[in-house]
Amino acid sequence: MFNYCVDPKTIEGLMWLSCYVTTAKHMSFYFSFVVVMGLLSLAAPLAMAFGFAGATASRSSFKIIRSVGKGYLAMIRGIPDIVFFLFIPIALDQAFEYLRHKVLCSDVTEPIRQGNDFVVCAAAKLPLNTAGEWVHDIYGFSLALLAFGFVFGAFAGNVLSGAMAAVPKSQIETGEAYGFSQSQIFRRILIPQMWIYALPGLSNLWMILIKATPLLFLLGIEDIVYWAKELGGIKTGVYEYPHPDWRAWYFGVLMIFYLSLTYLSQSVLDKISARLSQGQATMAGKAG
């Protein structure tokens, strides 16, 4: 980075530190913070979409759709989210490859599952063996993103269906009395009124989502946890910047990062909540 960093063994003190924290690997470490923010900004809307679909399905008048929706919302209550984070990316990967194998290599008659192996033809591999490093990265990240969307969609679905149930019955009945159709009631009455009931749950969910982002590490992504372990480990004299075990320091930095992120989020969410409570017939609304 700096000109005086050519031979780091000859410098010390602050100069050494300034060289140390600007190495290429540290730049990857800093970039992984951007990846976390990217994941947050993509996973939140995706989870809302999944959750909205789940909550709507669980209220459907068709029995099959309703039970699928209810099953989706209920499953996250009983099963730890980590199970889904481990299961979904590999299951999706195998499902995609299986389908591509069936379509692209229909002439291959050998079974795909051979004992402990999962064999698909080269053309069905995802991503293709010839694809560049960045394609693999993007593919891995997308699978992780889908897993986050799926899990947090189920959380959000619970919040939204609870909020939909909290909208006063008389409002719906008034709509019916005025001759609204079911879809009109849904769009014009239920959805606009449910947000205020959903807000506390959704704020909570946002905090949970923030605190779930380091689980990217479990999905094999080179995220902040990966780099903290990598950079913090003991570096012997053969390395350019030898140092003892500094992992506790690196994870301390991650703790501070997350604490400030949740603190900041909390103060913003409190402001939104206060704003939306204004004029509502609740204790918070009257106090303001």
Partner 1 sequence: MSSCFKTLSDYGLRSLGYGERLLPKADITLCEQFVLIGSGMIWNIYFAVLALLLGFFFATVLALGKNSHLSLFSAPCRLFIFIFRGSPLFIQFFFAYDLFVLLPRLGFDIDLGFLVVTVETRWLTKAWLGALIVLFFNTSAYAGEIFYGALRAVPSQDLESADAFGFTGFKKFRRIIYPTMLRLAWPSYTNEAIFMFHATTLVFFTGFPAWQQKGDAIYYASYFADKTFNPFVPYPIVGFYFILLTLLIIGLFGFINRRLNKHLPTNERKRLRFNKYNLIR
Q: Which residues bind partner 1 (CB under 8 A)?
A: 75-83, 86-87, 90-91, 94, 113, 116-118, 155, 158-159, 161-163, 201, 204, 207-208, 210-215, 217-218, 225, 228-229, 232, 245, 247-248, 251-252, 254-255, 258-259, 262-263
- Per DSSP, 215 falls in state G
User: Minimum CB separation from partner 1 for residue 287, in Å?
Assistant: 14
Q: Residue 230 in contact with residue 68, Cβ under 8 Å?
A: no
Which CB atom, from 175 or from 203, has the smaller least distance to partner 1? 203
Q: Which residues does 77 contact at the CB level (< 8 Å), separation at least 6?
A: 158
Residue closer to partner 1 by CB (options 56, 213) is 213
| Beta carbon of residue 207, minimum distance to partner 1 (angstroms, whole number) | 7
**Residue 22: CB minimum distance to partner 1, A:** 24
Please name every residue paired with 117 in a beta bridge, in sequence order, or none if there are none. 114
Closest CA to 120 of 247, 213, 128: 128
Closest to partner 1 by CB, 60 or 94? 94
Nearest approach, Cβ of residue 23 and partner 1 (Å): 21
Q: Give the helix ranges, DSSP H, for the chain.
A: 13-20, 24-57, 63-78, 81-104, 133-166, 169-177, 182-184, 191-212, 224-232, 247-277, 283-287
Q: Please state the closest distance from residue 111 (CB atom) to partner 1, in A.
A: 13
Nearer to partner 1, 107 or 117 (CB): 117
Of 141 and 155, nearer to partner 1 (C-beta) is 155
Q: Which of 128, 126, 154 lies closest to 142, judged by CA? A: 126
d(CA 275, CA 50): 27
| Tokens encoding 186 | 């849904």
Kindly state the smallest distance separating residue 193's Cβ from partner 1, in Å. 16
**Cβ closer to partner 1: 180 or 258?**
258
Measured in whole angstroms, the distance separating CA 26 from the mean position of its chain's CA atoms is 24
